[in-house]
Amino acid sequence: MVKLSVVGILAGLDEEALTDVERHINRKNFSAGAQMIEPEADSSDVYLILSGRVRIVNYSLSGREITLEEIGAGGCVGQLSAIDGQPRSACVFAVDDTEVAILSPANFETVVKSHPSVGWNVIRELARIVRTSTRRIVDVSTLGANERVVAEIMRRAQQVSDDTGAAVLSPVPVHSEIAGRVSTSRETVARVMGSLGRKGLVNKVDNGLHVPDVRRLEEFLSESIH
Amino acid sequence: MVKLSVVGILAGLDEEALTDVERHINRKNFSAGAQMIEPEADSSDVYLILSGRVRIVNYSLSGREITLEEIGAGGCVGQLSAIDGQPRSACVFAVDDTEVAILSPANFETVVKSHPSVGWNVIRELARIVRTSTRRIVDVSTLGANERVVAEIMRRAQQVSDDTGAAVLSPVPVHSEIAGRVSTSRETVARVMGSLGRKGLVNKVDNGLHVPDVRRLEEFLSESIH
């Protein structure tokens, strides 16, 4: 049985507190592809991801699907409705087989208010989402689709670049996942990645996508924009 | 002197706790137009807005300005850096003459952790920003600029519509403010508002912008999209 201690927002709780939280959750398993949260359902439960991976998607007024985020083991989804009592803002699907611990909104609020460290963890997690969202709003408001793909690869490379200015994104980013993240089509991502490959800015290696010189990628993007 | 009790995230604190917070803040005044937070500055202070109004803006890689939000008295800005220790994500300007109470990141964390109600208020405020951001990501990813302007007016009207299905947005929304909110130009907003006016979907009245039938506005938007 996966321990609750894998969950990021519960970090800092001692054994006794974790045992107490354990009494207030329901464990549930979802198969890959299953819908875990649907906007229409009248539920405000919080889902703590114990294992597996989930995708949060939203739909435009015209019905187009937009991937907001993918979240793996240790993450948390569904907290917005538990916090503000408003309807679900998005759908959540299991990408892989996924085990979750489900917390009712009342129990979520109790845990947050009884443990200052959990409250602070939730605040940090929401701040992370706000930063990511802000970056995306600015990108999608001001960059073309091709440039957003390059910017996404560039940012991921910047986060893992080594002393020599090279980076390996491992595993190789999935085109459909990048497409969802930057609000474009898989075909556009494939075309841009092909073009970056031909320019020698990225190349596939055994364990991932190799970016030999992150700085050159930054310059390439900067030239495309100005 | 404006009391700290106007600040939303401090709601629920008793007189004694407010007096304690008062000891940890610095009050400061900014004239309309002044820059309050600049990304380059190495500061992580939290600004509690006691009076006035501020605008949060971000810049694209190509230097274009994007308004993220305007926040009035009782609001809070600058909390992200205090929460995660990362650099500022945006600039903040005073729109009107503005008085703020400045809290250091350490004091902010102490206040949040010592008072579960403050922690919960911060969580609610961040959840509000996440919801607004998500809506905007979906809109800007899937709607044209004209449709985003209509969607913005529609959502504001939905929030204040009366029993008859009419709404008055008061004061009249400023074109430049709407433009910033939906990532388009003031000229586009002016053109769309003119068009909505000619169709009788909106009309200016003494105290604001009158939307005689919010449902008709929804139908108009729906027809533009599909």
CA distance A169 to chain B (A): 22
Q: Which pLDDT score, from 0 to 100, does residue B189 have?
A: 94
pLDDT of residue A192: 94
Residue A119: its H or E element: helix A116-142
Comparing CA positions, the residue from A73, A87, A90, A86 lying closest to residue A37 is: A90
Domain boundaries, chain B: 4-140, 144-225
Q: Indicate the residue type of B67.
A: T
From chain B, the residues in CB contact with A124 under 8 A are 83-84
Provide the pLDDT for residue A1: 82
**DSSP per-residue string spanning A143-203:** S-HHHHHHHHHHHHHHHH--TTS-EEESSPPPHHHHHHHTTS-HHHHHHHHHHHHHTTS-E
CA distances from B163 to A53, A222, B167, B199 (A): 45, 52, 9, 23
Residues 4-43 of A with CB under 8 A from B: none
DSSP string, B12-69: T--HHHHHHHHTTEEEEEE-TT-EEE-TTS----EEEEEESEEEEEEE-TT--EEEEE
| Residues in contact with B23: Cβ distance below 8 Å, sequence separation at least 6, in sequence order | none
In chain A, the residue whose alpha carbon lies closest to the alpha carbon of B133 is A133
Interface check for A80 against chain B (CB to CB < 8 A): the answer is yes
Q: Which residues contact B210 (CB under 8 A, 6 or more apart)?
A: B166, B167, B168, B202, B203, B204
On chain B, the residues whose CB falls within 8 A of the CB of A59 are 138
Q: In this structure, are residues A133 and B126 in contact, taking their beta carbons and an 8 Å threshold? A: no
Tokens coding B95: 């729109």
8 Å CB contact of A131 and B89: yes
Q: Identify the residue with better confidence: B226 or A20.
A: A20
Structure tokens at B142: 């899937």
Report the pLDDT averaged over residues B1-23. Answer: 93
Match domain A4-140 to its CATH number in 2.60.120.10, 3.30.460.80, 3.40.190.10, 1.10.10.10.
2.60.120.10
pLDDT at A44: 94
- Structure-token pair, residue A189: 């991502």
- A interface test, pick of B60, B79, B130, B146 with most A CB neighbours within 10 Å: B130
Is the pLDDT at B169 greater than 90? The verdict is yes
Q: What is the mean pLDDT of residues A18-38?
A: 94
Average pLDDT of chain B? Answer: 92
Angle of CA points B29, B34, B35, to nearest 5°: 105
pLDDT, tens digit, for every residue of A37-81?
988 778 899 999 999 999 999 887 777 788 888 899 999 999 999
Nearest CA in chain B to A151: B61
Residues 170-209 of A with CB under 8 A from B: 183
Written as six digits, the tokens of B20 are 């304690």
Q: Do domains B4-140 and B144-225 have the same CATH topology?
A: no
The more confident residue out of A10 and A143 is: A10
Q: Which residue do the tokens 């380059």 mark? A: B40
**At residue B61, does pLDDT exceed 80?**
no
Give the model confidence (pLDDT) of A202-224 as tens digits: 999 988 999 999 999 999 998 88
What is the pLDDT, as a whole number, of residue A206?
87
Q: Which residue has the higher pLDDT, A3 or A226?
A: A3
Structure confidence at residue A183 (pLDDT): 83
Does any CB of chain A come closer than 8 Å to the CB of residue B150?
A: no
Location of structure tokens 């009419």 = B166
Q: CB A140 to CB B141 under 8 A? A: yes
Report how far residue A133's alpha carbon sits from residue A135's, in angstroms, rounded to the nearest whole number.
5
Over the stretch A129-153, which tens digit does the pLDDT of each residue have? 999 999 888 888 888 889 999 999 9
Best residue in A56, A57, A61 for a mutation probing chain B (most B CBs within 10 Å)? A61
pLDDT at B161: 92
pLDDT for B222: 87
Q: How many CB pairs under 8 A join A and B?
A: 155
Q: How far is B11 from chain A (nearest CA, A)?
A: 15
Inter-helix orientation angle B116-142/B145-160, to 10°: 140
Domain A144-225 has CATH 1.10.10.10: yes
Q: What is the tens place of the pLDDT at every residue in B74-131?
A: 999 999 999 999 999 889 999 999 999 999 999 999 999 999 999 999 999 999 999 9
Residue of A nearest to B128 (CA): A84
DSSP H helical ranges for B68-208: 79-84, 105-114, 116-142, 145-160, 175-181, 186-198
